[in-house]
């Protein structure tokens, strides 16, 4: 199955919610866990138990695992494997982007069968030029995986790059949307090149109607975006949007049943 087929099947079964696994130091403290690899592992595997098989997509934030060194990366590998075994799609939030052989190496790590870091999709940064992502785009398609490319992010600094207008009259963000749309053209039910568009940005200023791909919308819940905001922001394209909630769900840990209840409440609100 293509990534688009697997994603569509998952959303039909569980709804569009994507839940993040963000082992932030503050959350480890709130859960009464030590600030070390053992605490990270306890946190992450509790999330796996709560979310596996219950949501369409789970998004572990790679940076919090990398911060614990090799033991932390080993925990991330276990999280990816156990979630995939549960039938849950895994989006590794690594935001990789580089050129040439380095990008090819990232593609091998995150988009290739046999790599312990390869989930079902990965986030990528296109700001060395969209074409620099080709090794990852090609590897993902060849292995039935997806990618989510940063387009419009919610951080204030992002606008100075993403909303800049180029010589052709398009914003940088719109050019990224258009490149993604070209890659997704003609693919059914939906393409494998998604975008990241912050749920709290207010107004996108881009045309998503030809994207034919999924949109990851971080910022739902604790960061302030509501279901009504999503409808206003994305309009008819809402059917392809994966609202992402992390802290709003994770604050209910470490009790597994409380985490499950929190997920169900968010799913119902969507």
Q: Would you mind telling me the total number of residues written for the chain in this entry?
A: 270
Q: Which residues of 210-245 are buried (b: 16+ CB within 10 A; e: fewer)?
A: ebbbbbbbbbbbebebeeebbeebbeeebebbbbbb
Q: Which residues are catalytic?
A: 95
List % helix, strand, coil for the chain (3-state, nearest 5).
Answer: 50, 15, 35
Provide DSSP, 96-126. Answer: E---HHHHHHHHHHHSSTT-TT--SEEEE--
Q: Which long-range contacts (CB under 8 A, 24 or more apart) does 222-225 make?
A: 222/246, 222/247, 222/248, 222/251, 223/154, 223/199, 223/247, 224/200, 225/199, 225/200
**Kind of pairing, strands 193-197 and 215-218?**
parallel
In degrees and rounded to multiples of 5, residue 18 shows phi and psi of -110, 125
Closest CA relative to residue 219, chosen from 210, 229, 208, 232: 229
């Amino acid at each position: 199955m293509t990534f688009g087929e697997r994603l569509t099947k998952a959303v039909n079964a569980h709804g569009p919610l994507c839940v993040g696994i963000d082992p932030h130091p503050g959350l480890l403290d709130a859960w009464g866990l030590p600030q070390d690899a053992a605490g990270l592992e306890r946190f992450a595997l509790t999330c796996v138990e709560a979310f596996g098989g219950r949501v369409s997509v789970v998004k572990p934030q790679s940076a919090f695992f990398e911060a614990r060194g090799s033991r932390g990366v080993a925990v991330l590998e276990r999280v990816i494997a156990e979630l995939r075994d549960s039938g849950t799609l895994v989006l590794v939030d690594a935001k990789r982007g580089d050129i040439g052989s380095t990008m090819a190496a990232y593609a091998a790590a995150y988009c290739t069968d046999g790599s312990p870091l390869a989930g079902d999709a990965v986030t990528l940064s296109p700001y060395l030029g969209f074409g620099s992502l080709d090794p990852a785009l090609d590897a993902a398609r060849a292995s039935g995986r997806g990618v989510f490319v940063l387009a419009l992010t919610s951080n204030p600094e992002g606008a100075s790059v993403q909303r800049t207008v180029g010589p052709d009259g398009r914003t940088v963000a719109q050019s990224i949307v258009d490149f993604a749309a070209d890659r997704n053209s003609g693919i059914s039910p939906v393409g494998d090149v998604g975008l990241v568009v912050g749920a709290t940005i207010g107004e996108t200023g881009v045309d998503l109607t030809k994207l034919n791909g999924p949109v990851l919308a971080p910022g739902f819940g604790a960061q302030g975006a509501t279901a009504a905001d999503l409808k206003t922001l994305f309009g008819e394209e809402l059917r392809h949007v994966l609202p992402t909630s992390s802290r709003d769900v994770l604050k209910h840990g470490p009790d597994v049943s409380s985490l499950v209840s929190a997920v169900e409440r968010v799913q119902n609100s969507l």
